Structure 1
């Protein structure tokens, strides 16, 4: 049985190990030979990271495994091309090919999500939100969004972020009795503060927002509605979650996470706002588009339009629901009593643990996840997701097994105080990049 690589001090010689028969290289690494010859140190680190991903349970809710096709686009000659501007209106010559790549990505995104307009250039989800604010707001405007302690993102008003410094944010939260969004509070705060925009979206809320209710509240106070759908956008693409597109003025998203594309951002909006959104991305907040990433987004949108991805998205949700129930049986207090999405959050205080200690115990067992704030000033909890393990082919039986392993790691059961060997045995049966995809 193979042993996990250390997280620090990985030498190039030890990490490269091309002869190792169990190294999870697969199709993604066919172009690695040139890098190995030119820079074996970095090549070794790439392989070390591939090993790390393949030898543990990757349960971070914001992560996934892209396809070899997406990775191929990311490593393509499109990385060489400067392409400030938009197709047909670039500030550089020689853009006839990348224009086609961007037009393809835009058309695929519009078709996939039923949107009137799409901008595929944002470098990240935060960049997409920044551009949405720039398109609709002015510094000092009031914005209503989920409060950070309740599950809001940094771009929803953190004082450490541009959002909290440039705009006046008011935070709404969730009900104490159910953990669900308190729409009465949202309506009352909107009436009191008359925000220029309302943001619906979260990094740790495991239920579907009621986009129609948010639209109604926004209309009542004359506010724009911005949906930050960074987490559910992949489920939306696969028909496993409701879409904000018919309700929101602007939808911001990421193209990684459940969507399983390259790391990057996406904006969908109404046609009437297309010009404002495009100008807010370029030239206001960004320079040249990363055309290799734009092409990789097009690949991901194409993959997401297939029946196989629809089945995948529904399996992600089925896996999360099973995992939530099984974790509750292990003593983890699952917030809202379950999940509608790929996200599960839970409180481990009943196990006499704090979240930081719990995460460290899980990491020692090869189980990688995050911690997050829990609503109403309670302790931090665990946040995990099922997107990556579902991509690996795991289903409900494996979710039940994962919950048992997670419980054992939290309690310190097993040899040497944890189930590391059992985790390794499980993940070896589901390599993220097998030799033949």
Structure 2
């Protein structure tokens, strides 16, 4: 794409074939040698084409964020071994109580047992909602087994888990290899905690994707809601279902608000509601909800149409900090612009806070898209200072980043909590909480 031609195909080399080739043998074939030579020869041509990007804000932020990550990833994330053992044992007890007579992970055994060939997670969820208890038990057992497989990886000699972070997603979001600290199961959060002589400091950006889409599109309804401090999920639930909406109604609209931003269809929304919220709606119902949503957020709907046109024409888009991209799918083309902006804000905040946290005898130990976890000594003065550094860095990054977009006055706030266990903190159990506004 960058060179505007494919040097491999011009020499008759199939890249897919080369990826499957055996590179361990002592004597490589002529095609393999040519493939390797092309990689080296054209590297200089490629650099000449892209070296100007070293001056882009996106690249500069990525490099600084990567340097922070190379430092903090060595810290690891503390595991409370007692909590881990307790959760592992509890999961095993539940598995024994369910007492499946089959292997839950064998579709050949599951299908005759549940009386259906719909044995994937969505199929099991649908059957469970329809009253198929066997399907519900298979699904629950699979989840427990999967969670325990994660917990096994958390049992390490030094009581900490480690990952390798890099801003390598197409959107510029950080990814994490080895132990994937960015995709830890929700139900495992309670196993991450520190001993009495240490404290955790946690914060995240609330509703970041809704706030960034407001700054990019200028949607009048969403901008007004956020400026007035109203909850967009409650507002959409009221608009869609009426003032007597239920918790399930709010869950539906919350799922809508985050998953319709990028032009997703009724089938996708139906699957997400089923998998994540155990809510089943017929496609006709969901299509009606989508129409209402688009009538409400006309500014976002118009932006989506602009993105679809650009995608069909093969036009590059870019994030507010200048990361150029071409989406593989139409939904990617929309998604990357907004999620990319959120990633740029989050990385900028990490850059602002990293060195100041280190200076306080403390350390970042995890960074999950738009949230941060630091570890400090159990000294209220130090942990409060770290919480202040974190909160102020997040607000400063939001304010600075908003100078790069159309709408610059969307407010942001965050709460920074100090406690001993990540799961407890997210449940509202903590020593202290500080609030910051921008």
TM-score when scaled to structure 2? 0.23
Bigger helix share: 2
